[in-house]
Structure 1
């Protein structure tokens, strides 16, 4: 007889996959409508609708990826990628929300820097963190990267910073559920799991949260060996 927990997980994963496909079609339709919409008729609300739809889709993709990680089914395909181009792609994915809120951003990364990582997984992690930074910041986002023995991608904002209880979780992000705010900790937990898939020798990837930084708000770091 099948394990009930395994059966439930399989059904849940299948349902999430179906929801993701349906939402993908909805996103395509929204993007087509917005592309055809005259500039003078566009508004910030359209950008927010576009972003929020993408955010739900990204959350579903993260859930599926976590299911595959748990069952050793997730393809892991690291390769060389230009860091500036990669981060610029993540900014473009969040452009609707940036424009809707009239926020500015800076990419402080050498355009020649390359690093080895799984771009599809890191893309999901970075896009989610960027989206949250844009939602809670006041007006500015700064994305930088340092390359030495490790690759460190840093996202800073000028918002109120991460709340104390979240900083105290120190890696146990899935216990950071807050029903009053709707926070599930999924984005941080996913970023942590993706970082840990990247290893070199005895070194394993990780994420770090802090407050302060050059813009005085929240600081997110994903560090890959």
Structure 2
């Protein structure tokens, strides 16, 4: 089990989409240009080998192998538009063709006695960067099999005088071992690094989406509150006029209509007053007590069958700090609270403490806690491991990918918080977020803030 909120961000950015669909990012035109460069290099190499080095090569077969690459490239260029992006199967087939074409040239020119045998690493690198792990493994296995065959099957490199140019057997064996190790190492680590970069990029995108959503909700609350404030006066006037009409009504029908107008106007006032409780673009409520921000973050999760308890602890005589109502702090804390509620058995405890130097928030639950092996990696996006049976029946379909914790950690660290994840002594998960008081606290003994600004 890895605790992480199941939010819309995790639904929108499935890591399988990030990792398995990278082949669709590669344009066919890019591979076509690389193949033209390879063909040019192969032609120059043959010319130099035959002319400058005096090697006796099977030029007819070599030209046929190079011509196959040329014809394939021309067909692809003419048949498809420049912006065509390859599917994973198409990209794997293209790389396999290039690998076989290079292997054929090496077969005709000395096998592993030819130093250009190292160029197989180009196809391995592209596969590791753009293909899924399974297809990358298949291409690496094909490369190892083909290059192993070159040790035993190849045409020797001979000069026009009949001299055979070859390496000592021990050097050939060492060259083969080096190529195999390079294929495995480059394939595995290039794929791993690219996957981590892709995951981090997608997770950062999700973080920006979460922050943007929270900011829009905050702005919308300001618009609603401003509307409630502005409409309050005309609705009060309507209620007053309707009351006078009731008193002066000449008959029962007129009195009933006036009563209806007053009741509906009063109802509008109640609705707008309730909508305005979300907050308005008021200079005074941009800065609120620390506990108020924690309560706002925890409020959506108080009705989910788990007791959410908030306690305050003052370590000295200093007063409770006031902080800015920042969307990133609220959303980050909300993710942590949601994570705790998702895995709690009965209670989530939020301890808000402060001193003259530090402000801290400790969120703990009475659930199964973090698996010890996952603790060093908490806060990384797209963690997949979960303890079997850790998720209860009320959490069917829960996707624990670590994205929620990553978003919370990233957003809170923007406010200069330091986060620590641990397991409690009596079980359950614990998240501790701490700030230097000077980094998050906002002084309230300042000059008047002025008129409220109208929200447009």
Task: Indicate the residue corresponding to 1:131 in structure 2.
Answer: 338
Q: Distance in 1 between matches of 2:10 and 2:383?
A: 19
The superposition leaves residues 128-187 of structure 1 with CA deviations (integer Å, 9 ceiling, x where unpaired) of 11112111111011001222323211101111111223212165x125234896222112
Alignment TM-score, normalising by the size of structure 1: 0.56
Aligned twin of 1:156: 364
1:143 pairs with 2:353: no
Q: 1:68 to 1:164 in 2, by over 3 A?
A: same
Figure out how many residues of one structure are paired with residues of the other and give that number. Answer: 154
Question: What is the TM-score when the length of structure 2 is the normalising length?
Answer: 0.30
Runs of 4+ with >6 A deviation: 57-60
Q: Corresponding residue for 1:187?
A: 404
Q: 1:58 Cα deviation (Å)?
A: 9.2
Specify the alignment match of 2:207 in structure 1: 66
Cα separation, partners in 2 of 1:117 and 1:183, compared to 1, 3 Å: farther
1:219 partnered with 2:426: no
Structure 1 unaligned residues grouped into runs of 5+? 1-50, 200-204
> Does residue 176 of structure 1 match 2:379?
no
2:294 is paired with a residue whose SS is helix
Query: Within 2, Cα distance between the matches of 1:108 and 1:212?
Result: 17
Q: Does the 8 A contact of 2:365 with 2:428 survive in 1? A: yes
- The CA RMSD over aligned residues, in Å, is 3.5
CA displacement at 1:89 relative to structure 2: 1.7
Change (3 A) 1:67 1:135: closer
Cα distance in 2, alignment partners of residues 133 and 223 from structure 1: 18
Structure 1 or 2: larger strand share? 1
Alignment partners' CA distance in 1, 2:362 and 2:292: 15
- The 8 Å contact of residues 176 and 184 in structure 1, kept in 2 or not, is answered as yes
Alpha carbons 1:158, 1:218 under 8 Å: kept: yes
1:193-220 Cα shifts (integer Å, max 9, x gaps): 1232224xxxxx221111115x631101
SS at match of 1:160: coil
CA distance in 2, matches of 1:65, 1:80: 27
- Residue 121 (str. 1) matches residue 121 (str. 2): no
> 1:66-116: CA deviations, max 9, x gaps?
3479xxxx9xxxx7431222222222211232xxx3x22221115962243
Q: CA deviation at 1:120?
A: 1.0
Asked if structure 1 preserves the Cα contact closer than 8 Å seen for 2:293 and 2:325, the reply is no
Q: What displacement does 1:224 show?
A: 2.1
- Shift of the 121–58 alpha-carbon distance from structure 1 to 2, 3 Å rule, reads farther
2:308 maps to which residue? 105
Q: Which residue of structure 2 lines up, in the alignment, with residue 91 of structure 1?
A: 298
Question: Contact conserved, 1:115 with 1:151, CA < 8 A, in 2?
Answer: no
CA distance in 2, matches of 1:159, 1:152: 22
More deviation in 110-119 or 181-190? Answer: 110-119
Aligned counterparts, 1:26-41, within 5 A: none
Contact 2:349/2:363 (CA < 8 Å) preserved in 1? yes
Relative contact order, higher structure (CA 8 A, sep 6+): 2
* SS of aligned partner of 2:369: coil
How far apart, CA to CA, are the structure 2 residues paired with 1:57 and 1:188? 11
The secondary structure found in structure 2 opposite 1:96 is coil
Are the aligned partners of 2:382 and 2:403 in contact in 1 as well (CA < 8 Å)?
no
Cα 1:67–1:90, aligned 2, differ >3 Å: closer, same or farther?
A: closer
The answer as to whether partners of 2:329 and 2:415 remain within 8 angstroms in 1 is no
Query: Secondary structure of the residue that 2:333 maps to in structure 1?
Result: helix
